[in-house]
Amino acid sequence: MTSLFVSGSGTGVGKTFVTAILINEIRRAGKECSALKPVISGFDEDNADESDTGVILGALGRDVTRNSVDEISPWRFREPLSPDMAAAYEGRSLCTKEIAHFCRTNSEPDSIRIIEGVGGVMVPLTNEETVLDLMVEVGVPVLLVVGSYLGTLSHTLTALQAVQDRGLTVAGIVISESLDNPVALSETQATLSRFAGEVPVIALPRLDSPGDDPGTPAIATEIGLL
Ligand SMILES: Nc1ncnc2c1ncn2[C@@H]1O[C@H](COP(=O)(O)OP(=O)(O)OP(=O)(O)O)[C@@H](O)[C@H]1O
Ligand SMILES: [Mg+2]
């Protein structure tokens, strides 16, 4: 199994959008693909179709049912808060090792697995651990999704350093164009590339959908996943 952990510089930057692009690209290449969104906050059981889990199941060509939702997103919380807080609201807590175990199991040997994290690289999962600790425990390459808003350079390079300092491979950085975009995407890409060393930096313009827009970059190919 080949796996990729999709994280980002923060919440709402485009992780799910990029996850759906990756799934589409892998499936179009005729490869088996599985995807997980193990922890999701702000989840409304009555609107599961519109959740990250629903979008991911849609990209996989699967129906959104109680079973399929359980299968890819076992840790769901109602409050749209950091996972530790959202869990505490329900009198629950998360166990990083248990989530990591879930991320590593139940996959076909030949398939490619995409795991969408939650929030940014250092959002707390528990009182002591963040998503970064989970990524270390899972131990697969990380794709960083970031925005193109004013301030993204520092956020992105900080996230990049934090992940690399823990010994993880960063497979690539995808700049998903923000609604508020002060400079040309290509300029942000050029600047980040200068600081990112060997890590490929991919520019993703705003698209109507993560489906089959001809302007979609071949992200999986560019990061060597295919
Ligand atoms: N390149 C893009 N083109 C068009 N829309 C985009 C793009 N990137 C992100 N979006 C839209 O921006 C919104 C936030 O993106 P998305 O849900 O992928 O972020 P996220 O990082 O997964 O957020 P969360 O932290 O909640 O998981 C969504 O409505 C998504 O469709
Ligand atoms: Mg998401």
**DSSP calls for 170-187:** EEEEEEEPPSS--S-HHH
| Nearest atom within ligand 1 for CA of residue 176 | 1
Question: Does residue 157 carry a pLDDT above 80?
Answer: yes
How buried is residue 218: exposed, middle or buried, by Cβ count under 10 Å (0-12/13-18/19+)?
middle
CATH class of 2-222: alpha beta
Specify the pLDDT at position 219: 98
26-55: average pLDDT: 97
What pLDDT is attached to residue 67? 98
Which amino acids bring their CB within 6 angstroms of ligand 1?
8, 11-17, 52, 119, 176-177, 204, 206-207
Cα 75 to ligand 2 centre (Å): 14
Q: Average of pLDDT values for 119-148?
A: 98
Is the pLDDT assigned to residue 193 strictly greater than 80?
yes
Question: Which pTM was predicted?
Answer: 0.98
Length of the chain equals 226
Q: How confident is the model at residue 191 (pLDDT cuts 50, 70, 90)?
A: very high
Which 3 state secondary structure label does DSSP give 53? helix
Give the catalytic positions in this structure.
Answer: 37
